[in-house]
Amino acid sequence: MSKIIASAAIRGAHKIVANAEEKVKKAIDKHGEKQEIGFPNTGYYLPITYGITGKKVENLKDAMDVIGMCKKLLPPAPKANNPLPYLAPALDAGMVNFWATEVAEAIRYLEDPNYYAQGEDPPDDKLWVGAADDIILRKRGVEFVDGSAPGFAAILGAAPSPEVAKNIAQELLEKSLYVFMGGQDEHGNTFSQQLRDAGMDIGWSTRLVPFSDSAAAGAAFAVGFATRAAMSFGGIEPGDYRKILIYNKDRVFAFAMTMGLVTDEWYAQGTGVVNYGFPVIADTPIPEVLPTGICTYEHVISNVPHDQIVAKSTEVRGLKVTIAKVPVPVAYGPAFEGERVRGDDIYTEMGGGKTQAVELVEMKDMNAIEDGKVTVIGKDLKDIDPGTRMALGIYVEVAGRQMQKDFEPILERQIHHLLNYAQGIMHIGQRDIAWVRINKGSVEKGFALEHIGKILHAKFHGDFGSILDKVQVTIFTEEDKVKELTEKARGMYKTRDERLADMKDETTDPFYSCTLCQSFAPNHVCVVTPERPGLCGAYNWLDCKASNEINPTGPNQPVEKGDIIDKTYGVWTGVNEFVKKASRGNVESVDAYGILRQPMTSCGCFEAIAAMLWTCQGFMTVDRDYKGMTPVGMKFTTLAGTVGGGAVTPGFVGHSKFYITSKKFLSAEGGILRMVWMPKKLKEEIAERFNKVAAELGHPDLLDKIADETVGVTEEEVLAYITEKGHPVLSMDPLM
Ligand code: SF4
Ligand code: ZN
């Protein structure tokens, strides 16, 4: 490593550690050593510190310990006449800089809890979102695992203009990368504000993540995210720093870009990033570091022009990008999935309650349709004034030797993300509550309604070529025609729903497995039955069956039930054999319908998690969207951190929201008649189905007797409420 960089990085780290130490001291004077600190909603404490050293920072005393660790590892500041340091001390300085920055940021969260915006995307009056919480980690991190996002670019500073920033960001997005942003250039400009000024939406949902106005925090939040991904998805133990660094070097395609004057502190961030095997690319002339063999990507490349910076970065990092080519005049790829279309930008809006929009996939005979034919019936985009609403019907007819009626809903569900992948097109909902917005920019580029058909034709062939040979698409905007299609579709939805609703576990064999989540929870297996969908809510029995037929060696395998061992708890010899094998011997037996003895494993992407409340002798369940405290004394994220990972945890089980209203929901121990607490919004969401099942059980008003956060978040408050309401659990036998 260049001596200039090494010295600068060490000087920078000294400043950062000194600054953090001062902050900790001041905070201790003000709040005392026992004051709790941390990043919001995470089970990973200060993630880099926790991942690399195993140290859990829970209070200010722990923070002081970390400062001590920093000082111990930090090489002495280079003096003018000192022999200059070489690589290792600079890398140590880079690492120490992250720990100290995390401590300083934890104190910022303590002193100014509203400094950063909460949630995925900043509101218009805020720019920075701060550290990602565990919900974002699970949702977004899995994209790094399944390859839909190969990695991220961490940008420090600002581009020379909003236009240049926009071009760079768009180029990165087209490669499906996340863009993490932090810091300001020497003029006080920030990349995030530049993107906003150029009219781009920023936030996690557009993959343009504005972490912090501080470069140190921006880099630490980005690297903290990568560190947590290694622990969460790679199953690496906190403190196993070697594995964490190697996981990132090998699996996360990340690099840092510095834009503008590089300060000593930035050099410290840069060397910190190099520790993880991420190269640093600068737009200014700084000394370069080329590979020395110590780590593959130990690179600093300097003075790269802006129109080449993305190409250079991906080349240095060795990123191979495959962009799905579909014949449309706008950019297309997963990076555009979260992009919103709103306000003045809307060219047309279809569905969403204002007009009818519907989509239907139907199987046809091979000879009845023509592959690739796209017809638009009614007005097209060029025929209407901007701002006009239209009705919309998307009717996809498919045929193929391997095609089955059961695959229709699976193909239909793809329409959502396949349309969202197109830049400037937003798709929400499904079936007869679809909602599509198209922005002005894409219409200017020549986007027309036939392109919806072209996208579906190309992608259906690409992704489902094994089951279909022909795809024909008709787009309706004529109101009468849309109405006609809607009626036809409703009839078909009903038949589909009844088909699964009529199926019973008792009379169905085989069940299906799902092991999709083993990529990050190696012992996890979902056994999916007609009455018990996978815990993520995305796979029901029919989906698994179809997926197995489409891809026979894939993650969904038939599970022969074998002999019944316990009817009440839902235990079968065949299921146990399968689970034992699929969990590599870690799980020998599971209860499909129980929580207390040996519930199914939970991976981490469950929609909700149920827990036993002993004082009430009942269950609570909490879903991912509820961020507050629960009567079991833990928030959803803590529960997910404790129970996830593919373990069997008696007393806790992850499940889909739909499963709550299945008659088999924890039926071994009393089912919904024992449900005593749920978040209010979840109650509202499932009310219709819940009330139906409750009525069948003879308790039509059960939902009102179930407490929620407006009643309280302690077992005592819940008990008082259910006692007052005469909840049926009170007359049930105690469980233990
Ligand atoms: Fe499959 Fe279960 Fe993971 Fe859902 S949670 S993807 S059903 S393994
Ligand atoms: Zn999962």
Strands annotated E in 122-266: 151-157, 178-182, 208-212, 253-259
Phi-psi map region of 590: left, alpha, beta (phi>0 left; psi -120 to 50 alpha): beta
Which residue puts its alpha carbon closest to atom 1 of ligand 1? 514
- Give residue 80's pLDDT: 53
- Secondary structure of residue 299 in the 3-state scheme: coil
What does the pLDDT look like over 597-640, one tens digit per residue? 999 998 877 889 999 999 999 999 999 889 999 999 999 988 98
- Residue 733: is its pLDDT beyond 60? yes
DSSP letter at 582 equals H
- Give me ligand 1 centre to Cα 516, in Å: 6
Query: What's the chain's average pLDDT?
Result: 89
Cis peptide before 76 (omega within 30 of 0): no
Which atom from ligand 1 is nearest to the alpha carbon of 517? 3
Residues with CB under 6 A from ligand 1: 514-517, 526, 534-536, 538-539, 603, 605
Contacts of 46 (CB under 8 A, 6+ apart): 38, 39, 57, 66, 99, 102, 103, 106, 224
Q: Is the Cα torsion angle 583, 586, 591, 596 positive or negative in sign?
A: negative
CB 273, CB 258: distance < 8 Å: no
- Give residue 294's pLDDT: 38
Taking residues 424-430, report their average pLDDT: 88
- H runs (alpha helix) in 404-519: 408-420, 440-444, 450-464, 479-501
- Give residue 295's pLDDT: 39
- Give residue 1's pLDDT: 52
Among 234, 482, 248, 251, smallest CA distance to 356 is for 482
Tokens at 88, concatenated: 């290792």
Which residue puts its alpha carbon closest to atom 6 of ligand 1? 516
Q: Identify the bridge partners of residue 124 per DSSP, sorted by sequence position.
A: none
Best probe residue, ligand 1, of 544, 545, 559, 605 (max atoms within 8 Å of C-beta): 605
What does the pLDDT look like over 328-344, one tens digit per residue? 999 887 778 778 898 89
As a whole number of angstroms, the longest Cα–Cα distance in the chain is: 86
Tokens at 230, concatenated: 């290694």
What does the pLDDT look like over 640-684, one tens digit per residue? 888 877 888 899 999 999 999 999 999 999 999 999 999 999 999
Tokens at 314, concatenated: 């991906």
The CA–CA distances, whole Å, from 18 to 11, 64, 185, 546 equal 11, 12, 23, 60
Distance of CA 381 to the CA centre of its chain: 33
Characterize the bridge pairing of strands 652-655 and 435-439.
Answer: unpaired
For the CA of 520, the nearest ligand: 2
- Give residue 292's pLDDT: 45
- The total of other beta-carbon atoms located within 10 Å of residue 389's CB is 14
Task: State phi, psi for 398 to the nearest 5 degrees.
Answer: -130, 155
Strands annotated E in 561-650: 564-566, 571-572, 608-613, 618-623
Query: What is the C-alpha separation between 433 and 357, in angstroms, rounded?
Result: 6
For the CA of 540, the nearest ligand: 1
CB 190, CB 184: distance < 8 Å: yes
What does the pLDDT look like over 300-323, one tens digit per residue? 777 788 888 888 887 777 765 444
- Give me ligand 1 centre to Cα 218, in Å: 33
Query: What is the C-alpha separation between 417 and 521, in angstroms, rounded?
Result: 25
Give me the torsion for CA of 484, 487, 493, 497, rounded to 10°: -170
The CA–CA distances, whole Å, from 557 to 146, 537, 554, 707, 717 equal 19, 18, 7, 39, 45
- Give me ligand 2 centre to Cα 534, in Å: 9
Which atom from ligand 1 is nearest to the alpha carbon of 605? 5
- Residue 83: is its pLDDT beyond 70? no
- Give me ligand 2 centre to Cα 234, in Å: 13
Task: State phi, psi for 709 to the nearest 5 degrees.
Answer: -65, -20
DSSP string, 333-392: SGGGTT----GGGEEEEEEBTTB-EEEEEEE--GGG--TT-EEEES--GGGS-TTEEE-E
Among 521, 527, 514, smallest CA distance to 575 is for 527
For residue 578, the surrounding DSSP H or E stretch is helix 573-582
Percent of the chain past pLDDT 90, that is, above it, reads 59
Which atom from ligand 1 is nearest to the alpha carbon of 555? 1
Best probe residue, ligand 1, of 145, 146, 233, 516 (max atoms within 8 Å of C-beta): 516
CB 395, CB 483: distance < 8 Å: no
- Residue 699: is its pLDDT beyond 50? yes
- Give residue 620's pLDDT: 98
Among 318, 342, 115, smallest CA distance to 210 is for 115
Query: What is the C-alpha separation between 673 and 100, in angstroms, rounded?
Result: 51
Identity of residue 133: D
Give me the torsion for CA of 553, 556, 557, 562, rounded to 10°: 170
Contacts of 182 (CB under 8 A, 6+ apart): 154, 155, 156, 210, 211, 212, 213, 214, 215, 216, 217, 218, 219, 221, 222
Which atom from ligand 1 is nearest to the alpha carbon of 603? 5
Residues in the chain: 736
What does the pLDDT look like over 100-111, one tens digit per residue? 999 999 999 999
Q: Sorting pLDDT into bands at 50, 70 and 90, what band is 352?
A: confident
Taking residues 174-192, report their average pLDDT: 91
Task: State phi, psi for 367 to the nearest 5 degrees.
Answer: -85, -10
CB 678, CB 705: distance < 8 Å: no
- Give residue 435's pLDDT: 92
Tokens at 83, concatenated: 């022999």
The CA–CA distances, whole Å, from 56 to 22, 43, 94, 99, 130 equal 21, 10, 20, 12, 20
- H runs (alpha helix) in 465-540: 479-501
Best probe residue, ligand 1, of 513, 535, 601, 624 (max atoms within 8 Å of C-beta): 535
Tokens at 247, concatenated: 């996981």
Please tell me the number of Cα atoms within 13 Å of 367 on its side-chain side. 0
Which atom from ligand 1 is nearest to the alpha carbon of 525? 8
- Give residue 164's pLDDT: 94
Q: Sorting pLDDT into bands at 50, 70 and 90, what band is 440?
A: very high
Query: What is the C-alpha separation between 274 and 272, in angstroms, rounded?
Result: 5
- Give me ligand 1 centre to Cα 517, in Å: 6
Taking residues 141-161, report their average pLDDT: 83
- The total of other beta-carbon atoms located within 10 Å of residue 90's CB is 31
Which atom from ligand 1 is nearest to the alpha carbon of 533? 7
Best probe residue, ligand 1, of 146, 511, 518, 526 (max atoms within 8 Å of C-beta): 526
Which atom from ligand 1 is nearest to the alpha carbon of 538? 4
Distance of CA 600 to the CA centre of its chain: 23
The CA R_g of the chain, rounded to the nearest whole Å, is 28
- Give residue 79's pLDDT: 65
Which residue puts its alpha carbon closest to atom 5 of ligand 1? 536
Strands annotated E in 71-199: 151-157, 178-182
- Give me ligand 2 centre to Cα 605, in Å: 4
Taking residues 340-359, report their average pLDDT: 92
- Give me ligand 1 centre to Cα 273, in Å: 33
What does the pLDDT look like over 461-506, one tens digit per residue? 877 877 888 999 999 999 999 999 999 999 998 888 777 888 899 9
Query: What is the C-alpha separation between 60 and 32, in angstroms, rounded?
Result: 8
What does the pLDDT look like over 246-259, one tens digit per residue? 888 887 888 889 99
Which residue puts its alpha carbon closest to atom 4 of ligand 1? 536
- Give residue 289's pLDDT: 61
- Give me ligand 2 centre to Cα 705, in Å: 31
Q: Sorting pLDDT into bands at 50, 70 and 90, what band is 226?
A: very high
Query: What is the C-alpha separation between 6 and 77, in angstroms, rounded?
Result: 10
Q: Sorting pLDDT into bands at 50, 70 and 90, what band is 87?
A: low
CB 283, CB 34: distance < 8 Å: no
Taking residues 391-400, report their average pLDDT: 96
